[in-house]
Chain A
Amino acid sequence: MTKNEKPKLAMYWSSSCGGCEVSVLNIHEKILTVDEVFDIAFFPCIADFKTKDVEAYPDGHITVCLWNGAIRNSENEEMAHLLRKKSTFMVAFGSCAYEGCIPALSNLTSKEATFNTVYKDNPTIDNPEGIIPLTSVQVPEGELTIPEFYNTVKSLDQVVDVDYYLPGCPPEPEQIWAVLQVIVGALLEGAPLPPKGSIVGASNVAVCEGCEREKSEKAIDRFYRPYEIVPEPDVCLLEQGLVCMGLATRGGCGALCPSVGIGCRGCYGPMPGVEDQGAKMLSAIASVISAGHESMEEAELEERIQTVVDTIADPAGTFYRFSMAHSLLQRAKVNGSNGKGEAA
């Protein structure tokens, strides 16, 4: 980058929904400031660029690459390597890139099961020949190829080196703006950048800290799914039996979901120092179960506790809703206890 040149910004999506792009645009008129400071080098969602344009850049040409999306197929992986090479700072932007997010829930099953659902078993599918995508197919005109769909969804840092993580599904616009300011400050005024590997645009305390609901002793003898009850407006949702991930989730979002009566889904990822968000949430949920007392016989204890546990419909999908790819086990063992690695 020569002296008079602007720094270059890229944003790329892989396996994601596009909400991250919307969230960037949600910084509203400040996007004009971004445009003032940066040259857009690659941003397929809003501007016309081709992969060959990126390939033509010298290495490290892109100053900041915001990568959103998980690594689902070989094209995602190839682009991750390419953009890593061409970028000075690689940011895992949003929950998919950071820890797999919703796409990584398919790690609870297999590629075959996913294909069966999408291309064969779905009631609205008409596919009598059972055609599923192949990486290569011969047609009269020649060979057609598409990227390979992987069995396991990975986070960005499981494929390439990542400099910063910006959690959230999607990251909150105020947090994006705050991070952009830090980057701009560093580029233009030489302000210090956070150490490599930092989680930026989030706080270091749990979502509960920012949640205004009243919290007291938690003792739960059954859990409810969101449609089963209308929660009291001012009382902690977990105390009312709704699974709220707030206590195992990093804050920074402003506790948006609990403030409107929906339990925290956990999108900002694990707390500082925690490796596996789902395991910590499981531990926390088990701690608020009130059933069972040391004076009971073992059989009665078992029955009472099991009854409460049975009211949690889908622990893996709930506790790992956003962090499956980054969890300790990373995926389910398929052909395990029940053949499909799905809930029995």
Chain B
Amino acid sequence: MSETYEPVIVGFLCNWCSYRAADLAGTARIKYAPNMRAIRVMCSGRVDPQFVMKALREGADGVMIAGCHPGECHYVNGNIKAMRRFYLLRKMLTQLGVEEERVQLIWASASEGILLAEKVDQMTEALRALGPLNWDEKVVNRSNGYKAAEVAPVLEEA
């Protein structure tokens, strides 16, 4: 493996808390690991398990889902929906051999830029220790590139 392994984290940040926390971390010039690629979603409850798996399949070493603290969701209970989904997903990903550290759910409110930065740092270090995931080549063993399954056109009643 290349000596310059830098973990790639895909971060799904909720619009109302965690994305603003990341924004705050930026404006406050907090230094933290540049390994997270932030994707803004309206709510942590919007994160479909397909997003997580697709990220892992297509080269991410880890996925961070970040939302408002329980009880503070902009949509009242979207983050609780995210929790239910996340716990089940974590159990299933364990069966698929994905280490727990690779997919994390965290809470960061709009004022917690420092907390978000710390979580990204911690996760980056954890992923550095685990090593690259490289799912397509190492797990599926298909080096000729992954073609996302085309969704077949639909036939009206055969």
Contacts and interface: CB of A to CB of B under 8 A. Distances in A.
Interface of A: 108, 151-152, 165, 175, 178-179, 182, 194-195, 197-204, 272-276, 278-280, 282-283, 285-287, 289, 291-298, 301-302, 305-306, 308-309, 312, 314-317, 319, 326-338, 341-344
A282 B97 contact: no
Given A314-B95, A341-B97, A282 B49 contact: yes
Contact of A179 (B89, B107, B158): B158
Given A204-B154, A275-B148, A294-B73, A331 B140 contact: yes
B145 to A, nearest CB: 13
Given A195-B153, A302-B83, A306-B87, A276 B140 contact: no
A330 B138 CA distance: 12
B50 A328 contact: yes
B28 interface: no
21 contacts: A175-B158, A197-B150, A201-B158, A202-B158, A276-B54, A279-B49, A282-B49, A283-B50, A287-B84, A289-B84, A292-B83, A294-B76, A305-B87, A316-B96, A329-B140, A331-B96, A332-B95, A332-B139, A333-B98, A333-B135, A333-B138
B151 A295 contact: no
Contacts of B149: 275, 326
Most chain B CB neighbours (cut-off 10 Å) among A199, A295, A314, A335 = A199
A316 B49 CA distance: 13
B97 A333 contact: yes
Interface size band for B: 35 or more
A338 B94 CA distance: 8
Interface in B94-110: 94-100, 107
Contact of A197 (B76, B97, B152): B152
Contacts of A292: 80, 83-84
Contacts of B84: 286-287, 289, 291-292, 305, 308-309
B53 A199 contact: no
A282 B133 CA distance: 23
Interface of B: 48-50, 52-54, 56-57, 69-71, 73, 76-77, 80-81, 83-85, 87-89, 91-92, 94-100, 107, 133, 135, 138-141, 148-158
B101 to A, nearest CB: 9
Contacts of B135: 329, 333
7 tightest Cβ-Cβ pairs between the two chains A and B: A336-B97, A333-B97, A286-B85, A341-B97, A316-B95, A279-B49, A315-B92
Given A200-B155, A298-B70, A327-B53, 13 more contacts: A108-B96, A276-B50, A278-B92, A282-B89, A283-B50, A291-B84, A294-B80, A301-B80, A302-B83, A305-B84, A328-B54, A328-B56, A333-B97
Q: For chain A, what secondary structure do more than half of its interface residues adopt (helix, strand, loop), or is it mixed?
A: loop
